[in-house]
A and B are shown apart, each in its own frame.
Chain A
Amino acid sequence: MTVLTVAEHRRGELRDVSRELLTAGRQVADATGGELHAAVVGGDVKAFADDLNRDGVDRIHTVDDGAEFNHDVYTQVVTQLAEAVDPDLLLLPNSVNGLDYAPAVASRLDRPLVTDAVGLSMGEEPTVTRELYGSKVETTIDVHAERAVVTVRPAEWPAAEGTGDATVEPFDAEIDESAVRSTVTGFEEVGGGEVDITDADVLVSVGRGIEEEENLDLIFDLADALDATVSASRPIIDNGWLEKDRQVGQSGKVVTPDVYIAIGISGAVQHVAGMKGADTIVAINTDPNAPIFDIADYGIHDDLFEVVPALIEEFR
């Protein structure tokens, strides 16, 4: 069987998920004695193709169309390429941009789509492992079709390494310009405020468990006592309780402090993506099953409103 992956790049850089897709794809191709194809659309396709040329990649398709991602172009190109290569499995990134074109491609190809795969196997039909209810449970899904489109969760597979000897060939897609009805006009960095959480040695990070905005005083008191910086998970930022540049996670900042103290944070995958590189991770949460404890070094299964004041007392 044949697997086709499509790389992702932004502002001149190939994103990590591009090489992770190769690992996931190679795993499936190996199990079935098949071929692994990769594709890259737009930007410096030659340099990107070099970077994608890893162990086990058989063929790389380069499509020289535009500098940056545009979903109308990607949808047309990837659909045409999938029709030409006819892969059993089309693997795309479960990124913000992946989710901006994968559903349209699947729909045009009339192939089932399964998003956010954390596991993947290929028997006669594809089987995909996914998470439900905020990572509390996992489910397997059998796809009753010979061909499918699957989006792969970033950072779930290791990035492909080594140097390959793939054939690199350009693919000429025919772009219907009248069907390009969206225009990317620029990019903007969020934040730029006074706090740089990426520079802090110790982060006291707060999540939904804090319940009320005024309870944040408790977190700032702890940060004062520990000489730490306050950061937060997404719900706190969405509520407008703290500035955007304090957000840790996939859509916020990636932080690597010496110590990360997660308070009332359940540990959704999007949050973990931003802080798992911390040297020491401490989690305080009432829910012993919260995913944050899977990556924590030290944990307390208790009410933060009991533990945090006691901890402040310890450092007074």
Chain B
Amino acid sequence: MKVLVTVKEVAAVDDEFEIDGLTIDDRYVTADLNEWDEYAVEAAVQIREAGDDVEVVGVTIGDADTEETIRQALAKGVDRAVRVWDDALADAGLLDPETKARVLAAVAAEEDPDLVLTGVQSADDGFGATGVTLAEKLGFEWAAVVNDLDLDRDAGVAHVHRELEGGVEELTDVELPAVLTIQTGINEPRYASLRGIRQAQSKELTEYTLADLGLDAGDVDSPLEQTSLYEPESEGDATVFEGSAEETAAELAGVLRDRGVGQ
């Protein structure tokens, strides 16, 4: 059995930052493995550990700088990884779910996985749609926002819980092959061990260009164009207490007492 897990390096923005045109200035940005993908990686590695004939392959779309991030996934137990990048992708601007799914589907066509795990969404652009779009492209079944997974390989069914709004979970049976988008909290992502980090350096990381996958620049020509980026105006009219912690706490205590708190 083969599990393909998609991972993305995302940008986290500092509390204070400056906007430079259509991006945030690099000085205020830290790159990291997308939080949702960490749970997807853990789910994939747990499936591998439950069976001795499972291979877990990671895939990312990203430039050479993202290699370090994908090696984090390798260090946590992903067997090998694929990274797709070239000049056409670099020039493509906003990669919408359709574009990303097209590239990932080409990788899936090479790998022929039984199961694809993705994070529900990415922490930076948060489209939350790449996984289901990918399923549609592959003709796979799917389930979005999965927070519990019980894989019955013999029956070819994934028994999943989907986390709906308001503290309700939907129980669904999904036929394989399938794409599942994984919600945070489904498991406890492991820390990479020192041994894992060392091993990750020697694990196979295949680099593909679009041409390697039978795609060209036209395939990553997104219809979406980002035209502005700005800080939203604060809608707040909060009374902000200033001063030392003792002073602000005292003022807040006054407000709370007025409302009958702690009486």
**Interface assignment of A48: CB less than 8 Å from any CB of chain B:** no
Contact of A300 among B22, B241, B260 (CB under 8 A): B241
Q: A310 and B245: CB pair below 8 A? A: yes
Chain A-chain B contacts (Cβ-Cβ < 8 Å), number: 265
Overall SS of chain A's interface: mixed
On chain A, the residues within 8 Å of B136 by CB distance are 103-104, 107-108
Closest to B185 in A: A238
| Nearest CB of A to B62, in Å | 17
Contact of A226 among B162, B171, B236, B256 (CB under 8 A): B256
> Assuming the A-B contacts A96-B165, A234-B185, are A137 and B229 also in contact, with contact meaning beta carbons closer than 8 angstroms in the complex?
yes
Interface string of B161-198 (1 = CB under 8 A from A): 11111111111111100000000110010000000000
- Which of A52-60, A83-91, A161-169, A185-193 contacts its partner? A185-193
| Nearest CB of B to A187, in Å | 6
**Interface assignment of A1: CB less than 8 Å from any CB of chain B:** no
> Assuming the A-B contacts A103-B97, A185-B172, A286-B15, are A139 and B226 also in contact, with contact meaning beta carbons closer than 8 angstroms in the complex?
yes
Q: A97 and B133: CB pair below 8 A? A: no
**Interface assignment of A99: CB less than 8 Å from any CB of chain B:** yes
Q: B174 and A311: CB pair below 8 A? A: no
**Interface assignment of A194: CB less than 8 Å from any CB of chain B:** no
**Interface assignment of B143: CB less than 8 Å from any CB of chain A:** yes
Q: B225 and A106: CB pair below 8 A? A: no
**Interface assignment of A34: CB less than 8 Å from any CB of chain B:** no
Interface footprint category on A = 35 or more
- Which of A19-27, A35-43, A245-253 contacts its partner? A245-253
CB within 8 Å of A: which B217-263 residues: 223-232, 234-236, 238-241, 245-246, 248-250, 252-253, 255-256, 259-262
**Interface assignment of B135: CB less than 8 Å from any CB of chain A:** yes
Q: B129 and A115: CB pair below 8 A? A: yes
Interface string of A292-316 (1 = CB under 8 A from B): 0111111111110011011101110
| Nearest CB of A to B123, in Å | 7
On chain A, the residues within 8 Å of B98 by CB distance are 106-107, 112-113
A72 to B19, CA, bound (A): 42
Q: A187 and B171: CB pair below 8 A? A: yes
Contact of A182 among B11, B22, B174, B226 (CB under 8 A): B174
A271 to B236, CA, bound (A): 16
| Nearest CB of B to A83, in Å | 16
On chain B, the residues within 8 Å of A296 by CB distance are 236, 238
| Nearest CB of B to A130, in Å | 8
Q: B141 and A182: CB pair below 8 A? A: yes
On chain A, the residues within 8 Å of B170 by CB distance are 69, 184, 186-187
CB within 8 Å of B: which A258-308 residues: 258-259, 279-280, 282-283, 286-290, 293-303, 306-307
Interface string of A119-145 (1 = CB under 8 A from B): 000000001001111111111111111
**Interface assignment of A202: CB less than 8 Å from any CB of chain B:** yes
Contact of A185 among B127, B164, B171, B230 (CB under 8 A): B171
**Interface assignment of B64: CB less than 8 Å from any CB of chain A:** no
Closest to B127 in A: A115
On chain B, the residues within 8 Å of A102 by CB distance are 129, 132
A182 to B140, CA, bound (A): 11
On chain A, the residues within 8 Å of B16 by CB distance are 289
A280 to B238, CA, bound (A): 11
8 contacts between A and B (CB under 8 A): A99-B132, A100-B132, A140-B228, A141-B225, A190-B169, A251-B163, A251-B166, A293-B236
**B residues touching A (Cβ–Cβ < 8 Å)?**
11-13, 15-17, 19, 22, 24, 94, 96-98, 101, 123-133, 135-137, 141-145, 161-175, 184-185, 188, 223-232, 234-236, 238-241, 245-246, 248-250, 252-253, 255-256, 259-262
Give 18 A-B pairs besides A102-B132, A253-B167 with Cβ atoms closer than 8 angstroms.
A108-B136, A112-B96, A112-B224, A132-B126, A132-B229, A134-B123, A141-B227, A154-B165, A181-B141, A188-B169, A259-B256, A282-B252, A295-B236, A297-B238, A300-B240, A302-B248, A307-B248, A311-B253
Nearest 3 A/B pairs, CB to CB:
A310-B249, A306-B245, A238-B185
